[in-house]
């Protein structure tokens, strides 16, 4: 049997990239799989057979490494969390929220800051310094001035990547710039609100020349953190890890408790204040949900 990767699921068909022939076949799915409630989504690795008419039938879905619920996609290596330095303004709370979601899903993360020419590289680097200190990889790009595109290509090489980030930051533009021929639809940022409406809708894996695969999606459109427990949230802020277990109280929520090692680290600027503030806000969200508010 052949093996391949589902690039797109559309109208009951699955478009499968054959690992050997490198061709894409339009496949249906064996009724048995449907009965077993075995769903097949973009990114799934499957076994399939070819019929005489050149179409295929998916016979088996291989085990998933991971999967995201929104967008629905499986077997991702990494997420490129993309923001613009301006237009729309860089929303650090949303950035931190996406970072938490990526940590929960145990995905490799690259932060991509686009439209740097609207500020300057120095300004952009300064604003992202706290994230670099935490250990996140940050790349700076401008589609307009063709900056940082090779760095982005390098990150995408040989990986299955998902783009996440608000509308209008230039995710589709970046992909068009690094992979001529894609011709993804690019939206106009509304002048009035300086924010786009998501131009990209369905989930499709696109092939890159350097063996990479990438999904151009809004990414993590469900931004709800309330499924996380209060005890777990702290682990999704990597800069907290060194201080955990050093607080006077155990457990410590690092909010109201005295002699809290995390708060002390914030006081001496070992942990960025805005990151801590966002932690507190997410904590409140998680706690409110638990109380059923």
Residues that bind ligand GTP (CB under 6 A): 114-115, 117-118, 142-144, 167-173, 186-189, 196, 198-200, 218
- The torsion defined by the Cα of 268, 273, 278 and 281, in degrees rounded to 10, comes to 70
Q: Which of 99, 101, 252, 271 binds Zn ion (CB under 5 A)?
A: 252
Contact 172, 216 (CB under 8 A): yes
Q: Which is nearer to ligand GTP, 141 or 234 (CB)?
A: 141
Closest CA to 148 of 82, 200, 198: 82
Q: Per CB under 5 A, does 200 bind Mg ion?
A: yes
Name the residue with the smallest CB distance to ligand GTP.
Answer: 170
Largest CA distance in the chain: 72
β-pairing, 78-84 vs 108-114, is parallel
Q: Which is nearer to Zn ion, 189 or 262 (CB)?
A: 262
Looking up tokens 């998501």 gives 198
Provide, rounded to whole angstroms, the least separation between the CB of residue 284 and Zn ion: 16
Q: Which is nearer to Zn ion, 5 or 263 (CB)?
A: 263
167 binds, options Mg ion, ligand GTP, Zn ion, none, Cβ within 5 to 8 A by partner type? ligand GTP
Nearby residues of 138 by Cβ (< 8 Å), 6 or more positions away: 110, 111, 112, 113, 128, 131, 132
Site for Zn ion in 262-291 (CB under 5 A): 262
Q: Kindly indicate which of the ranges 36-44, 77-85, 165-173, 282-290 contains the residues binding Mg ion, using the contact rule CB under 5 A.
A: 165-173
Q: Per CB under 5 A, does 114 bind Mg ion?
A: no
Q: From CA 120, how far away is CA 86, in angstroms rounded?
A: 10
Name the residue with the smallest CB distance to Mg ion.
Answer: 172
Q: From CA 238, how far away is CA 219, in angstroms rounded?
A: 22
| Interface ranges with Mg ion (CB under 5 A) | 171-172, 199-200
| Interface ranges with Zn ion (CB under 5 A) | 247, 252, 254, 260, 262
């Amino acid at each position: 049997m052949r093996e391949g990767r589902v690039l797109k699921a559309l109208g009951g068909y699955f478009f499968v990239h054959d690992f050997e022939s490198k061709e894409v076949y339009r496949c249906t799915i064996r009724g048995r799989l449907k009965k077993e409630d075995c769903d097949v989504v973009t990114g799934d690795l499957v076994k399939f057979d070819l019929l005489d008419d050149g179409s295929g039938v998916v016979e088996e879905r291989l085990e998933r490494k991971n999967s995201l619920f929104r967008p629905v996609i499986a077997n991702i290596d990494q997420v490129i969390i993309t923001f613009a330095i301006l237009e729309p303004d860089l929303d650090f709370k949303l950035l931190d929220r996406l970072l938490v979601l990526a940590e929960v899903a145990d995905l490799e993360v690259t932060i991509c800051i686009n439209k740097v020419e609207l500020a300057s590289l120095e300004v952009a680097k300064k604003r992202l310094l706290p994230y670099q200190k935490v250990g996140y990889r940050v790349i700076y790009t401008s589609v307009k001035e063709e900056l940082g595109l090779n760095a982005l290509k390098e990150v995408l090489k040989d990986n299955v990547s998902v783009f996440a980030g608000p509308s209008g930051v230039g995710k589709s533009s970046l992909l068009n710039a690094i992979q001529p021929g894609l011709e993804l639809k690019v939206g106009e940022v509304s002048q009035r609100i300086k924010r786009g409406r998501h131009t990209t809708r369905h989930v499709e894996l696109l092939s890159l020349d350097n063996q990479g695969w990438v999904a151009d999606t809004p990414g993590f459109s469900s931004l709800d953190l309330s499924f996380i427990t209060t005890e777990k949230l702290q682990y999704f802020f990597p800069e907290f890890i060194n201080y955990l277990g050093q607080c006077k109280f155990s457990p410590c929520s690092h909010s109201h408790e005295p002699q809290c090692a995390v708060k002390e680290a914030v006081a001496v600027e070992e942990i960025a204040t805005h990151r801590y503030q966002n932690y507190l806000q997410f904590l409140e969200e998680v706690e409110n949900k638990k109380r059923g508010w």
